[in-house]
Structure 1
Amino acid sequence: MERERWIDAAPGVRLWAEERGPADAPVLLLVMGAQASGIGWPDELVDLLVERHRVIRYDHRDTGRSTWAFEERPYPVTALAEDAVAVLDGFGVERAHVVGMSLGGMLTQLLIADHPDRLLSATVIGTNALSTVPYTAPDGTRVPPQELPGIAPELLELWSRPVVERNLEDELDHRVEHWRMLGGDQLPFDAAYARELERRVVEHTGHHRSGDAHGRADSSGMDRTEALARTEVPTLVTVAPAEPVSPPPHPQHLAQAVRGARLVEIPGMGHALPREVHAPLAAAILAHTAEHTAGV
C-alpha cells in the first residue's frame, strides 16, 4: 500500500513524501541526491526493500512535488538534512534506518553527526566523506581528501553547461545522456529504462524544467570530522567500482572517517541505480538493517 503525505518542513516549504510497506515494520528512509526527486529511487528497488521495511521516500525541496522557491527563500545544503528529520517527524517516526545516495549520502552523514538519536543505522552510497581526516592507503601512504580522485571530466563538462529550457523529448534525451555518463563503463546501459524512469519523474513532478538550486545552495559548515570519528551509528558504505563522481578510494576514505563503518562492494555499479544493481544493493542494505534492528 502506498500512502502519500505533505510535510511542512520549514516556513513556506512543503515536502511531498510517500510510505510503502507494513505500518509496523522498521522504517527505512531513502534520501536522494542533488536535484533528484524521491521517485529517482526505482520502484523495483523499493519493492525489494519493502519486503522487510516500511519505506519512506520524499522529494527534496526544489525537486518533484515539493516547494520550488530557492530564488525567494535561499537555504544552505545543511537545511536539506533538517528536512529529512522533518520527514521522520511528519510520519511520527522516532528512529529509522537511513539510506542516502550522492548528496543524500552527505545529508546522511550530517544526520549521523547531528541527529544520531534518530538513526538505527546508516547506509551511504556514492559520496565523499565530510571529514578532513587523510585517507590511509593499503601501503600506509596518507593522502589528504582534496588529493583523492575527482569527478570524471565528461561529467564536469556536462554540469558546467547553463541550464536551458528544452521541450520534453529533448529534456529526456539530455537526462538519458546524463545517466549514461553516471552509470560508468562496467554494466550495459539501458537507455530505454533510463528514459522511462525520467518520464515517471516528469509525470510525478508535473513539469520537465531542470533545477540547479542544490548546486547554488551554500555548502559551507558541513565538516563533521570529529562527530563522524566518534559516532556509534552503525554505518555501511557501498563501493561502486565504476563510480565516476566519487570514485574509489572515496568509499574507503569514508569508511575510515566514520567510526566502525563497514564496506560492501556492489559489482559493476557506477553512480546510478540500473536494474543490475537492485538485487545486490537491496541484499546489502537488508543485511545491514537486519543486524541493527533486533530488539528495537
Structure 2
Amino acid sequence: MGTTVEANNINIWYEEFGDKGNETILLIMGANANCMQWDQEFIDRLVANNFHVVRFDNRDVGKSTWFGKEPALNKFLKLLPNFLLKIIVNSIFGLAVDDKGRFKFNNPNPEYNLSDMAQDAVALLEVLNIKKAHIIGASMGGMITQILALDHPEKVLTITPIMTSPGVQNDSLSGPTEELLEAYKKSFVHNIRGRIEDGVVEIYRQLTGSRFPFNEQKFRDKIKPVISHGNNPYALHGEAVGASPDRTSRLQEIKVPALVIHGTEDAILPLDHGIAVADGIADSKRMIMEGVGHEIPEELLPEIVSEIVENIKRAS
C-alpha cells in the first residue's frame, strides 16, 4: 500500500516494492499519467532481479498535490451541442498547434517546469533516505530522468529514458502524427462531456503500434484503476515541458550508463527523438522496438527488463 509524504513543499504519493536493502530503481511516469500506469508485471520482474522499486505520482496527478484546475471556459463549452463544440475545438487546436503538429506550450510564467518535477524526485529520495537510485522514466518521465542525470548526478546510478525526447520544441525533430492530433480533439470533447475513460481510449488507440494491435476491452480493464487512482485531465505537465529548455547540447554532460528505449512507430515522439537522446549521451546503449508505438508492451517486458538489468550492471 502506498502512502503520502511532504517533499519539496508538496504532497507526494509513493509506493515501494521489494527489499529496501537492495539498490533502488525509481520509476517516473509521463505527462497526465499517474504512477499506477506502470505495469505491475514490470515492477515484479524488477523486484525478482533483486531491486527495491519505488513508483510515485508526479505533481498534478494521482494522489500527489494538484495544481491544474478545470478552465472556466469549460463551463460554457459543456452547454454547447456537439456540432458546435467540435467546431470550437478545431479552432482551439488550430491556435494551439504549430505547423509540425506540436503543441505551443510557451507560457512565460508557468506554475512549474520539469526542473521542479526533478526536484520532487530528489526530495522524495531524501525523505526515503535513498542516497542514489537507478532512474527509469517514460515519456515526460524520461525528460525528468535526463534532468536528474544532468542537475543531480549525485543521486543517479544509471538512467533508462523510454520513449522520450531531448526537447519537444527542437525544430530538427519530427512532430506528432495527424491521426494523433485528431484523437486529441476527440479526447478533448470526451473530457468536456465527462467521459474520461473514452478520452483516454481515443489517445492510446493512436499511441499503440502495429506489432501488438490495440485491444480496446483489455485496455479499458487496465485503465480503470489508473483513472480511479486520480486522473487530472487539466494537469499542467504540457506547460512544464514547454517551459523547459532543450537538453540536446547538454546530454554530453551525462556520465552514467544509459539505456534508451524507443519504438519505431511512436506517434507523439517519433523515433528520431529517442535517437537524439541516445546520440547525445556518450555512455549509452539503445533498444529499438520494431512496430511499437508510444507504449511499453507487456509482451516485451522480459526483454525490456533484461536490457535494463544489463545496463545497471555496467555501473558496477
Is residue 8–residue 119 contact of structure 2 (8 Å, CA) maintained in 1?
A: no
**What is the letter of the counterpart of residue 41 of structure 1?**
W
Q: Which moved more, 1:91-100 or 1:45-54?
A: 45-54
Residue 4 of structure 1 corresponds to which residue in structure 2? 2
Asked if the contact 1:237/1:255 (under 8 Å) is kept, the reply is yes
Cα–Cα, structure 1 residues 201 and 131, in superposed 2: closer, same or farther, change >3 Å?
Answer: closer
2:119 to 82, 99, 109: 82
Partner of 1:266: 289
Matched, 1:24 2:21: yes
Query: Do residues 202 (structure 1) and 227 (structure 2) align?
Result: yes
Q: Are the equivalent residues in 1 in contact too, given 2:184–2:203 (CA < 8 A)?
A: no
Q: Which sections of structure 1, spanning at least 5 residues, go unmatched?
A: 133-144
Whether contact under 8 Å (1:63, 1:211) holds in the other structure is: no
Q: Matches of 1:54 and 1:251 in 2, distance apart?
A: 27
Amino acid at match of 1:4: G
Contact in 2 for aligned 1:77/1:218 (Cα 8 Å): yes
Cα displacement string for residues 106-128 of structure 1 (whole angstroms, at most 9, x for unaligned residues): 11111111011111100011111
Q: What TM-score, normalized to structure 1?
A: 0.84
Q: 1:68 aligns with which of 66, 69, 84?
A: 66
In the aligned structure 2, how far is the partner of 1:189 from the partner of 1:104? 23
Change (3 A) 1:253 1:224: closer
CA RMSD across the alignment: 2.4
TM score, norm. by length of structure 2: 0.79
Instruction: Provide the C-alpha distance between the structure 2 equivalents of 1:235 and 1:274, rounded to a whole number of angstroms.
Output: 20
Q: Say if 1:78 and 1:157 are closer, same or farther in 2 by CA, change over 3 A.
A: farther
- Determine the C-alpha separation between the residues in 2 that align with 1:275 and 1:218: 27
Do the aligned partners of 1:241 and 1:270 also contact (CA within 8 Å) in 2?
yes
Cα distance in structure 2, aligned partners of 1:32 and 1:219: 17
Aligned runs of 1:203-222 on 2, under 5 Å? 203-205=228-230, 210-217=233-240, 219-222=242-245
CA distance in 1, matches of 2:213, 2:249: 40
State the alpha-carbon separation in 1 of the partners of residues 211 and 144 from structure 2. Answer: 27
Give the distance between the partners of 2:67 and 2:39, measured in 1 at CA: 26
Q: How many residues in Structure 1 have an aligned counterpart in Structure 2?
A: 274
Q: Is the 8 A contact 2:248 2:277 kept in 1?
A: no
1:100 to 126, 131, 137: 137
The structure that is helix-richer by fraction is 2
Partner SS for 1:204: helix
Q: Percent identity?
A: 32
Quote how far apart the aligned CAs of 1:252 are: 1.7
1:50-96 Cα offsets, whole Å, 9 max, x none, are: 11211110001111111112459922232111111112112111100
Q: Any conservation in 2 of the 1:105–1:126 contact (CA below 8 Å)?
A: yes
How far 1:227 sits from its partner (Å)?
3.6
